[in-house]
A and B are shown apart, each in its own frame.
Chain A
């Protein structure tokens, strides 16, 4: 048993990776789904045990194949990536019980083996990119997750052929982003001769004025900005989320962009540091304006959408703006908000997209007019949308409130009170688009020709409500999440650079 825990860091990635080819050999029936479920639950267990180990006894450094870093590849787990691992595997563990019926409905039954293979590879890539302490390894794992994400998005083509063009655009922009990231890593390697993140952090300080280092920093930030859909590089996101199968949207919306945010945090604070002149400048002159534009343009675009999945996809662009804003604030409260929002946004969007998947299972398309009057026929599903919607707005006693509270604290600490006002104002935009759905579902008359609609099956409602309850639970008892996030923010700003 102790051997298992000793190698937990490697198993976290190796188990999903090795089970993916096994999954592709399984055909038909429930087997592929069951394998993916078992692997997800194991990954969840592994990430919990890693987080406990990190909180109890400090950072874990696992040497792959026993090759000592910086020559070998090191898996380095500290509070932030243990927390991100928990988010990814936790969402996957909840999304998979939900997935079976939804995927059976939306994806060709002959393709289930391949579908869950792509899903497991995507999970592997996200977990691996988070856990690794090697810069080039991050690129490789992120490409594993991105390539499988393109496949997963394209799997929505059975419902709507636009999934194909959405996946194609995602592929082109995702590859450009990843290639920018590799150029950045190459420039850093050129100057420092190392790829290990800890080693890079040690060798960079005397090289701050080197032009190659500065260019490398810019390439890394732009590349990851594309992957995390930082405004105005978000154009791939709305269509990819809209036309992907429901389960894929749940999983990608809650995890994929979060890992990119994590990588940006890692490079900003561990590899570089806010004390470097050129890094500090990006906070105020690039991240701050782009974050505020994302908050408003994302929310404003969401208000005008008729397709509900696209509505919440635009809302994701706005929510990613909040995460970037937390980084731009550059103080402990702001960074706490960013790290908290990684978790909190995963909970909200996970719940909302799950609820839309329930609607899609019953009526097919999820347009604003299609859901008119459904609040009476699918009471549990729409109560969940209302609950998670409140969290998205940031009503007290929900997780959304906790994130925004820390963001506003951070803005006030810097004396940027207009930013605090803008945070509140953009939340009001969220009220409009959430209300639009509530109004249609509860007060609208059912469109003509729609027969009686039954409530979604319990198998899908249970995971959905687990997410909704988590939205409120972690909004009331935020000790666990805020203590981890606060600890991360303090290490980044204190020990970093």
Chain B
């Protein structure tokens, strides 16, 4: 049992990282921290791809003419794309947080929800009057 865990220690670390990220997204009320959680979550997936590309004894896939074992380069390329997507997501997320801060004066979910609820109540009252 312990051997099985140790032999796949990289996967266990990735799963722990994944859960930390997802937990932060769910539990934190601070909008910036949520994005940080999202980043950790995405990074764990990048590591998952990188780790599955590793071939024991393999080197970087550069053709030198000598017979060598190469690591699989395809997941690396895929993850390069995913990293770009991740950066775009983070940038857009922070841009939205800046705009939210400008119009609500807070980046705490509770404050924002309270402000929205107050607005909603005014709208309903106006609608009913």
A residues bordering B, Cβ < 8 Å?
Answer: 136, 139-140, 143, 147, 150-151, 154, 157, 161-162, 164-165, 167-168, 171-172, 175-176, 178-179, 182-183, 186, 189-190, 195, 306, 367-370
Contact = CB atoms under 8 A, between A and B. Distances in A.
A176 B22 contact: yes
A186 B96 contact: no
Contact of A172 (B34, B49, B82, B128): B34
Q: For the complex, would chain A's binding face be called helix, strand, loop or mixed by DSSP majority?
A: helix
Given A154-B96, A165-B100, A147 B45 contact: no
B68 interface: no
B22 to A, nearest CB: 7
Contacts of A147: 85, 88-89, 92
25 contacts: A136-B81, A139-B85, A140-B81, A143-B85, A147-B85, A150-B92, A157-B99, A157-B103, A162-B119, A164-B100, A165-B104, A167-B96, A168-B96, A171-B93, A172-B35, A172-B93, A175-B38, A176-B41, A178-B85, A179-B45, A186-B48, A186-B49, A186-B75, A306-B124, A370-B127
Contacts of B127: 306, 367-370
A328 B121 CA distance: 40
Contacts of A136: 78, 81
A157 B127 CA distance: 22
B22 A182 contact: no
A24 to B, nearest CB: 15
Contacts of B89: 143, 147, 171, 175
A15 to B, nearest CB: 22
A1 to B, nearest CB: 35
Nearest to A365: B123
Contacts of B123: 306, 367
A65 to B, nearest CB: 15
B17 interface: no
Interface in B103-127: 103-104, 112, 116, 119, 123-124, 127
Contacts of B97: 168
Contacts of A186: 45, 48-49, 52, 75
B103 A189 contact: no
Contacts of A182: 45, 82
Contacts of A168: 31, 93, 96-97, 100
A143 B92 CA distance: 12
B77 to A, nearest CB: 10
A168 B123 CA distance: 22
A172 B82 CA distance: 16
Interface in B10-60: 22, 25, 31, 34-35, 38, 41-42, 45, 48-49, 52
Nearest to A448: B129
Contacts of B99: 154, 157, 164
A367 B128 CA distance: 11
